[in-house]
Structure 1
Amino acid sequence: MNKSKLGDLLSSLKFNDQGLIPAIAQDSVKNDVLMMAWMNKESIEETFATGRVCYWSRSRQNLWKKGETSGQHQELVDFLIDCDRDTVLVKVKQHGVACHTGRRSCFYLSVSENGDTTETMSVEIDPKDLY
């Protein structure tokens, strides 16, 4: 994407007071939701420049190039914006697992009517082997 079009995109998005926008990652083939993270203008620029999804780490206060240390990266397939322009959906080709717990998705806990939680997927990679 050229710089002018990217600038137009970034100026149209509604970032919060910290300059962040929620980003939901979804598998482009299976359509399962993999994770939710935050993006800022710089991480969106990096994502479009490289084709690999980049987020903003609130805990480290810097860019989080998904898979940089674990190898479990995400290739950008599509970048969608919601109707209010305050949330993005990144459709990705997931390489490996998406969750730091070693599961394919961060959304693996199901809550029953009585409030009990059940794990709906197992660990695929020992988290100690990821980092």
Structure 2
Amino acid sequence: MQKRSRLTGSIAALSALLSWSAAFTQEKVPPRLEDGSAPPSDERFIPAEPIDSLNIPYPAEFLRLGYAGTYEADLLISPSGEVTEVKVLKTVHPAFNRVITKQVRQLRFKPALLDGAPTAEWFRYSARYWQERAR
């Protein structure tokens, strides 16, 4: 029993020395319309742009579990700028995935335009989560 309490104390001390970070990166992938086809490659198409910050912080409920890695998903941005579908491509952990996906669904975008009219477009979202020493 004493070994277990020492181990728990050691883990708590280590956690105090570490902090979690997250960084959004937008992977350059060719734009795709809702049906998966490529949009025209001229000025008739303007891709969707995020209105909100895309940096989603590390979920507090997972701090003690120490999940690290990359969450990557394709987001379907509707003509009104809402995320209507999320296709997870890479995840840190299934439980972590559910929390991040819920937050990703709340992001707002300026919709893509095709010939001046709003149109649905797929947007690639990727975020890395890692642990680093607190300063």
Whose Rg is larger?
Answer: 2
Greater RCO between the two (CA within 8 Å, min separation 6)? Answer: 2
Q: Same fold by TM-score, threshold 0.5 exceeded? A: no
- TM-score of the superposed pair, with normalisation by structure 2: 0.25
> Which structure's residues are more often strand, by fraction?
2
